[in-house]
Amino acid sequence: MKIILQEVGPRDGLQAEKQIVPLEKKEAWIRALMDSGVDIIQVGSFVHPEKVPQMAETDKLFRRLMKDKRSATVLSGLALNEKGVERGLACGAEMFYLGASASETHSTKNTGVGTAQATQRIIAAAKIAVAAGKKVQVSVQSAFGCGFEGPIPEDRVLDMVRSYLEAGLRKISLADTAGHATPAQVERLFSAIFKLDPTVECACHFHNTYGLGMANIYAALRVGVTTFDTSFAGLGGCPFAKVAAGNVATEDFVAALQREGLRKDLDLKGLITVARDVAAHFGREMPGFVYKIDS
């Protein structure tokens, strides 16, 4: 089983920051991540620039990165609807990350519609991307709990997963948008998904609100999840969640894997350099650990 690393810092990391990072700086970080051997990078979001101004130059950034792309790293973008996918197709996105929230409150704040309507909108958008020959990952956001609503019924999460599977979407992520997940819950939900379809390719996205991010990653790994979202220096958080807590740091996860003899092909020093540059740019200590201690 190959562990696939999906870097979400340029998207999930930067969208939570008040400071808008210059296009050239974003490009430099992404190119360094590509050089480090990361499998997938979420370059940005195809969303309304007034709602998430940090993502306003996503289309331009994709065009710059795709113009002379030689790396095997897959460049992905987040979209919330068909219009977002169309923007991504126009600027060369290689993969789309599409998700709907299992929390009615979070869904309404994030997309303007409830869970059921958002799910159908995501499926329609995903089908457009698939028809265009693009890779697609669909997600259930707030799958493990919500800062507004508290616990989310697991049957609701699994019903959304069934809708994705019925639509022929095979790469499915559970996202812990509010950071409420526990390892036991992670094992239970992903195990239930594999019972629905043992061939599904599962991904996970954990926020570190209660310090359980890394524990939840290892719980997911134990039950067969293969794709893991992490963010450089541990940046991150949904601006429409009640608490925008960071992700597990990319360099922390890679360091942990390499201590166990896994993913030695990834350039950990290169990832640490990016994390340090991110910390220097924002002028503050980041949530990650390894970048502070590795010499």
- What are the tokens at 71? 């790396």
93 vs 77: CA distance, rounded Å: 7
Dump strand ranges (E) for 129-271. 135-141, 171-176, 201-206, 227-230
CA-based nearest residue to 140, from 156, 157, 155, 159: 157
Which residue bears the tokens 């570190």?
208
**Cβ neighbours of 280 (radius 10 Å):** 10
248 vs 206: CA distance, rounded Å: 7
CA separation (Å) from 250 to 155, 218, 231, 253, 261?
31, 14, 5, 5, 17
CA separation (Å) from 294 to 1, 77, 216, 273?
28, 31, 24, 10
CA-based nearest residue to 43, from 5, 96, 81: 96
238: annotated active-site residue: yes
∠238-223-228 over CA atoms, to 5°? 35
Of 91, 202, 204, 238, the active-site residue reads 238
**Cβ neighbours of 142 (radius 10 Å):** 31
Catalytic amino acids?
238
